[in-house]
Structure 1
């Protein structure tokens, strides 16, 4: 049995008392997990995170009092050690991407089996850089593409903006005072970062419309 001080401390955040009670009952059956608090809205979750400094915050994506992204940012600011795992009824790939940028360490659907939830908590606690996503392959690809798009340099973004406007390589070169060879090099880098197979594919994946 783990020493009490070694247990993973968890803050539950959900506006439904029944959900919180169910989660607590499940988690407290595990000797290495310990629920240290419950909150039903954004402000209370931030205050409790600051007070209890939990290892893990299980956060319902639709709690009252503020957007999930802002709640995550506030929790991480008040409790640096806390790692946030979001629980949601739906996938929402754009939301997943936004929350990953805010610093969450997991996004799981509420339909997951309790054993998957426990495994995710343990994985995130054991490795601070670990991110656990319980979403479909399609949503995961969307998130990966979005991450790649964010990796484009300012110049690559400029080139792709002009590609989206149907400019040729020669026209792009003239507009940006570059050589055509340089434009082609930027396009090769863009294709590689986005996993794109054509100019149109790159525009779509980078979402520059």
Structure 2
């Protein structure tokens, strides 16, 4: 999907009310259409949507069912849930989906999260990012493997990874570091190669020590 295009979304609701009745607005510059579905999410296997937004009370129960409904369809997913504990956030993030804690985001952030998901970035709201980092600290390697991994990156690349692990996207990182978005994305490509990471999600998990570190 080109960044200039508006998105086609699927809202998958698994109980509870959607927290933003005013989003997306009819004139939303990022969203063109919305399809609403309920469990068991029939039709998701054939969806042509750019992003699926799952609203649920308990992602540990509901999220696997959504992935089953999607089958092999590689559609980016955003989870919106009131749960903000490390276990819930980490399980969703490890599966490659974004996570927004209810009450921790506004409509504009939802649009940003959907756009980020559509171009391959896994988005986290601030509380979700904090939960992930806390869990990663508890799970981090006890030897010097993490230090060796981090030493593979230049100081600039380390700055970018720190910001990426807080849930920021390439554009936001560029604004923070006064770099162009293209420069940030080029740095990210180099980082993924150095960390032997398949994606931004994998890179963040390795950076935080929440996934096994390759020993050299």
Instruction: State the TM-score bracket (shorter-chain normalisation).
Output: 0.5 to 0.7
Cα offset, 1:31, TM superposition: 3.8
Rg: which structure is higher? 1
> What do residues 18-63 of structure 1 show as CA deviations (whole Å, max 9, x unaligned)?
528826x52443143133411222x12xx23223221111101337
TM-score using structure 1 length: 0.56
The match for 1:29 among 27, 49, 68 is 27
> What do residues 118-167 of structure 1 show as CA deviations (whole Å, max 9, x unaligned)?
11111222x21x11111336413124447x74xx6xxxxxxx7xxxxxxx
8 Å contact kept, 2:8–2:50: yes
Counterpart position of 1:79: 73
The separation in 2 between residues aligned to 1:40 and 1:20, in whole angstroms, is 16
Counterpart position of 1:139: 131
Larger RCO (CA within 8 A; separation ≥ 6): 2
Q: How many residues align?
A: 148
Summarize the Cα distance change of 1:115–1:72 in structure 2 as closer, same or farther, 3 Å threshold. same
Summarize the Cα distance change of 1:49–1:20 in structure 2 as closer, same or farther, 3 Å threshold. farther
The match for 1:39 among 37, 40, 44 is 37
CA-based RMSD of the aligned residues comes to 3.6
Could you say what secondary structure the match of 2:49 adopts?
A: coil
Q: Which runs of 5+ in 1 are unaligned?
A: 153-159, 161-186, 195-204
Structure 1 segments (4+ residues) deviating >3 Å = 15-18, 143-146, 190-194
Q: Which runs of 5+ in 2 are unaligned?
A: 151-208, 211-216
Superposition map of 1:57-76 within 5 A:
57-62=52-57, 67-76=61-70
The match for 1:54 among 49, 54, 74 is 49
TM-score using structure 2 length: 0.55
Superposition map of 1:90-109 within 5 A:
90-104=83-97, 106-109=98-101
Counterpart position of 1:89: 82
